């Protein structure tokens, strides 16, 4: 990948018009991340303004090889080195691929270099270390226990990436210890080569799963809502944790009596364990709330709702008086029940960045997002130079802007507080969408306007700081080049 990135920079630096497009070829995201996949995709889709076809072919070859190698690295993190090797052979070393002459100078050089790398990988894959994976070992243990006692079980395994689904299904299919047939279903936005399945294939595979031809099915979350398998009694999230709402939906895929739910994370994903623990706590709170409401009579529920609305109106009035706010705005907000959490979206491309439950207050002024996956993993944001560092009340702006990785729109700044670094959200740059009804709120120019629909934002607690310090002890590496 070092060679590929070097070639890419050389070819791009030769194009003045490329530089005017602003593609950040010099600020490469961390390897082995979804952000790197987006980076390679951005390179490919910014070819339309390049008139030099020779250079264009060279850059396309670089982006393709880098993208495949990045996906192989992601596979090695969650599966085995042998699975990563097989993926590279499938994507870049097929007979048809090798029979064709290289389409460019870059492809010829990359192909020769890959030959050398593949020989090293093949030798490594002959070792015991390359054929083992703690997450896969745990999955085998769960499946073996489930199907030994209940051979007619059905298991759904959720993964984050399309190519993960194919790798996992192949592993289960070939596992001599399990002797189970597996398949996979993903979104239909791409072809088979990238793990996509079209609508007809999805229907056929799901029907075979219902009939028991396949006992295990690997899926991405995009297919989650369409799954309704009455006999499914095992649900597993494999190296993939979202929010508590999605967790409840996932657990609901297990429709059979005495169904089981498991979450498996790799040792390098310790922060996912904390995320799942928080999801479980919120799930318990929601379940308790449902039981409490279900036990009420209609009259009791009506009284409780009225009392709640009165409390909210009184709180709103107190806040307006304390802050000297607009009385007319306070009147407009009266009687509005804050009954939903919200997804936080980029206002330009509507990509989901985080969730309103991750918002925290610093000094009753600044709203930061305590979301490790959003900030530290590099999967949703990337950095860019953000002007001079300066101190504002309560925090220090360090001169690093955060932009949406999908569209490049600036959505936040990095601030320093208590020797920790946080993303400070810009309210004008985001939208809030209700997590349950999927309705999008009106854009807000100031945080005050969000109080009419967002639940009250909690202050940054010591527990929040301790959790953040464990997972983000310093500024992530992919932001450091822009730090003044």
Neighbour count for residue 476 (Cβ, 10 Å): 17
Residue 403, token pair as written in the block: 């932009």
Range of weakest confidence among 103-112, 196-205, 406-415: 196-205
Is the separation of the CB atoms in 423 and 381 below 8 Å?
Answer: yes
Instruction: Check whether 448 has a pLDDT greater than 60.
Output: yes
3-state class (DSSP) for residue 418: coil
Higher pLDDT: 251 or 374? It is 374
- Indicate the CATH number for domain 134-286: 3.40.50.300
- Per-residue confidence (pLDDT) for residue 330, from 0 to 100: 38
Is the pLDDT score of 115 beyond 50?
yes
Tell me whether residue 409 is exposed, middle or buried, using C-beta atoms within 10 angstroms of its C-beta: 0 to 12, 13 to 18, 19 or more.
middle
Phi, psi of 113 (to 5 degrees): -65, -40
What's CA 437's distance to the chain center, in Å?
Answer: 21
Contact 147, 178 (CB under 8 A): yes
Q: Are strands 395-404 and 410-417 parallel, antiparallel or unpaired?
A: antiparallel
Per mean pLDDT, which range of 37-41, 243-247, 339-343, 414-418 is the poorest? 243-247
| Distance, first Cα to last Cα, the chain | 28
> What SS3 class is residue 217?
strand
Residue 351 phi/psi, 5-degree rounding, is: -70, 135
Using a cut of 0.85, tell me whether the model's pTM lies above it: no
Domain ranges of the chain: 2-130, 134-286, 296-336, 338-482
Q: Comparing 134-286 with 338-482, is the CATH topology the same?
A: no
pLDDT of residue 40: 83
Pairing relationship of beta strands 155-159 and 216-220 according to DSSP bridges: parallel
At 46, phi and psi to the nearest 5?
-100, 25
Helix (H, G, I), strand (E, B), or coil: what is residue 174? Answer: helix
The number of CA neighbours under 13 Å toward the Cβ of 374 is 29
Q: Strand 234-238 to strand 155-159: parallel, antiparallel, or no bridges (unpaired)?
A: parallel
Q: Are 75 and 37 in contact (CB under 8 A)?
A: no
Unique residue bearing structure tokens 């993208």: 67
Per-residue pLDDT of 256-300, as tens digits, reads: 457 888 888 876 555 555 555 665 666 667 777 778 888 888 888
Report DSSP letters for 353-409, one per residue.
EEEGGGEEEETTTEEEE--HHHHHSSSSEEEEE-S--EEETTEEEEEEEEEETTT--
pLDDT for 333: 42
CA distance 108 to 93: 13
pLDDT beyond 90 at 220? no
Q: For residue 179, what pLDDT band results from cuts at 50, 70 and 90?
A: very high
Instruction: Please determine, for residue 117, whether its predicted confidence score (pLDDT) is greater than 80.
Output: yes
C-alpha–C-alpha distance, residues 43 and 38, integer Å: 9
Predicted local distance difference test score (pLDDT) of residue 29: 76
Fold entry, domain 2-130:
phosphoenolpyruvate carboxylase, domain 3 (1.20.1320)
* Distance separating alpha carbons of residues 247 and 283, to the nearest angstrom: 8
Determine contact, residues 399/384, Cβ cutoff 8 Å: no
Confidence class for position 128, pLDDT limits 50, 70, 90: confident
Predicted local distance difference test score (pLDDT) of residue 36: 82
**Out of 320-334, 382-396, 411-425, which region has the weakest mean confidence (pLDDT)?**
320-334
**Residue 106 C-alpha from the chain's centroid:** 32
Architecture of the structural domain at 338-482: Beta Complex (2.170)
């Amino acid at each position: 990948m070092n060679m590929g990135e070097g070639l890419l920079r050389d070819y791009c630096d030769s194009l003045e018009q490329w530089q005017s497009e602003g593609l950040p070829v010099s600020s490469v995201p961390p390897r082995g991340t979804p952000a790197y996949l987006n980076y390679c995709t951005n390179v490919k889709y910014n070819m339309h303004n390049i008139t030099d076809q020779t250079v264009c072919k060279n850059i396309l070859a670089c982006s393709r090889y880098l993208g495949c190698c990045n996906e192989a690295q992601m596979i090695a993190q969650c599966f085995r080195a042998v699975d990563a090797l097989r993926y590279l052979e499938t994507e870049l070393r097929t007979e048809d691929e090798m029979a064709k002459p290289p389409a460019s100078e870059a492809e010829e050089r990359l192909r020769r270099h890959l030959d050398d790398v593949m020989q090293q990988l093949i030798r490594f894959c002959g070792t015991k270390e390359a054929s083992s994976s703690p997450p896969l070992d745990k999955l085998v243990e769960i499946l073996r226990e489930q199907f030994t006692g209940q051979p007619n079980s059905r298991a759904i395994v959720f993964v984050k990436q399309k190519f993960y689904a194919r790798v996992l299904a192949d592993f289960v299919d070939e596992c001599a210890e399990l002797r189970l047939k597996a398949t996979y279903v993903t979104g239909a936005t791409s072809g088979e080569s990238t793990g996509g399945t079209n609508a007809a294939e999805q229907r056929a595979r799901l029907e075979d799963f219902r009939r028991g031809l396949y006992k295990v099915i690997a899926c991405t979350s995009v297919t989650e809502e369409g799954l309704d398998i009455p006999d499914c009694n095992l649900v597993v999230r494999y190296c993939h944790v979202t929010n508590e709402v999605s967790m409840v939906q996932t657990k609901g895929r297990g429709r059979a009596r005495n169904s089981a739910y498991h979450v498996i994370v790799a040792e390098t994903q310790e922060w996912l364990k904390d995320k799942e623990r928080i999801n479980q706590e919120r799930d318990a709170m929601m379940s308790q709330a449902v039981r409490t409401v279900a036990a009420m009579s209609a009259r009791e529920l009506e009284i409780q709702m009225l009392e709640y609305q009165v409390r909210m109106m009184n709180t709103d009035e107190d806040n307006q008086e304390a802050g000297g706010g607009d009385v007319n705005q306070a009147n407009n907000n009266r009687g509005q029940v804050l009954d939903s959490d919200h997804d936080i979206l980029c206002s330009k491309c509507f990509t989901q960045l985080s969730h309103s439950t991750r918002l925290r207050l610093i000094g009753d002024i600044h709203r930061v997002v305590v979301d490790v996956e959003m900030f530290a993993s590099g999967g949703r944001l990337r950095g860019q130079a953000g002007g001079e560092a300066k101190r504002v009340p309560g925090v220090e702006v360090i001169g690093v802007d955060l932009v949406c990785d999908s569209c490049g729109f600036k959505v936040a700044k990095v601030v320093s507080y208590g020797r920790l670094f946080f993303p400070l959200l810009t309210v004008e740059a985001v939208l809030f969408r209700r997590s349950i009804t999927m309705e999008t709120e009106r854009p807000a120019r100031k945080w005050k306007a969000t109080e009419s629909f967002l639940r009250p934002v909690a202050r940054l607690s010591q527990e929040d700081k301790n959790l953040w310090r464990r997972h983000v002890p310093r500024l992530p590496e992919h932001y450091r080049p822009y730090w003044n």
